[in-house]
Amino acid sequence: MQADHFDQQKLLALAAEDVALAQLAHRARTLPELAAVEAAQEAQRTLADDVVRAETEVRDLDREQKRLEADVDTVRQREARDQARIDGGATAKEITGLQHELESLKRRQSDLEDQVLELMERRETADAALATAQGGLAGAQADQERAEQQRDAALADIADATSRHQATRAEIAGTVPSDLLKLYDRVAQQTGSTGAAHLRAGRCEGCRIEFYGTELATYRNADPHTVLRCENCGRILVRNAESGL
Ligand SMILES: [Zn+2]
């Protein structure tokens, strides 16, 4: 293919834009902010589970406390009733029986009081665990919001830069003859990156292969308007004063 030597030079600027666009796309995919958002979401899920567990524990203890309080009431009522019967003139035999029962009720009462104390301690621990989990969850939510804001800001920067480079690329592409541009785009698709590379100091800057002897001589002797291709990577080789020819 033949193309104006000057038009061929434009392909280097086009390739530079494609490299910049590829780097921006890569940056958008591998932003550390993306991982930070994911980590914050994961932390939040774990802490939300902790809150649910702690709330369940507190609710269970509440239920147990109500049950114990009801038991204490029952024992107290029993004691009062027995005492009233003793005071109200029961027979000696009945009094002996009632006193036995009162003793057993007192033991039961003291047992229940121990259980209430133990329950209060467990409740204190559960309340503290709930407060810690809730605090942790609030912190994780704030972390996630911050991480999302940072991610969005980074993505917005990338989007800005991308549209700037796309505009520049379109501007350059608009000045390249269509058959040369078509070739460039086809090669770019094949290489997965750029369609042209600088031949610099006898080396293809696209694939880094160095040319010697007859190969270099072929490039040297080629007409400036002939479109050269790298034999290794297929890119259009753009020549200028730095090409080492
Ligand atoms: Zn090459």
Domain of residue 213 covers: 5-25+177-238
Q: Does the residue 245 lie in any domain?
A: no
Total domain count for the chain?
A: 2
How many A from CA of 225 to the centre of ligand 1?
19
Q: Are residues 42 and 95 in the same domain?
A: yes
How many A from CA of 19 to the centre of ligand 1?
15
Q: Are residues 102 and 184 in the same domain?
A: no
Predicted local confidence at residue 61, as pLDDT? 95
How many A from CA of 15 to the centre of ligand 1?
13
Predicted local confidence at residue 90, as pLDDT? 85
Last residue in a domain, options 154, 173, 192: 173
Predicted local confidence at residue 245, as pLDDT? 87
Predicted local confidence at residue 43, as pLDDT? 92
How many A from CA of 243 to the centre of ligand 1?
13
Last residue in a domain, options 173, 190, 220: 173
How many A from CA of 21 to the centre of ligand 1?
20
Which residues does the chain have with pLDDT short of 50?
none
Pairing outcome for strands 236-238 and 196-200: parallel
How many A from CA of 163 to the centre of ligand 1?
28
Please state, in angstroms and rounded to a whole number, the distance separating the CA atoms of residues 76 and 83. Answer: 10
* Eight-class DSSP state of 235: P
Predicted local confidence at residue 74, as pLDDT? 95
Please state, in angstroms and rounded to a whole number, the distance separating the CA atoms of residues 35 and 60. Answer: 38
How many A from CA of 195 to the centre of ligand 1?
10
**Percentages (nearest 5) of helix, strand, coil residues in the chain:** 75, 5, 15
